[in-house]
Amino acid sequence: MNEQKCHFCGYRYTEEELRDKCGRCPLASLHAGCGASCCPNCGIELRMKSSIVEMVERVAARLKAGKR
């Protein structure tokens, strides 16, 4: 089980809790896969990292480590 932590309130939640919360969203049918993550505890919406941001972070880490 992959556990995540809300950066705002510190609540730890599972992907299952997140999917359950997203399933109750009134806009779910309009924006499936919107890329947002809402904390099941406090409701703060945080954007998940895009694949481009993750790629840039990996490249930056390699450059910092001296690898190409």
pLDDT of residue 1: 57
Residue-wise pLDDT tens digits, 10-36: 899 887 887 776 766 766 666 555 666
Q: How many helices (H) and strands (E) does the chain have?
A: 2, 4
Are the C-beta atoms of residues 59 and 20 closer than 8 Å to each other?
Answer: no
State the pLDDT at residue 5: 83
> Domain-by-domain residue ranges, the chain?
3-65
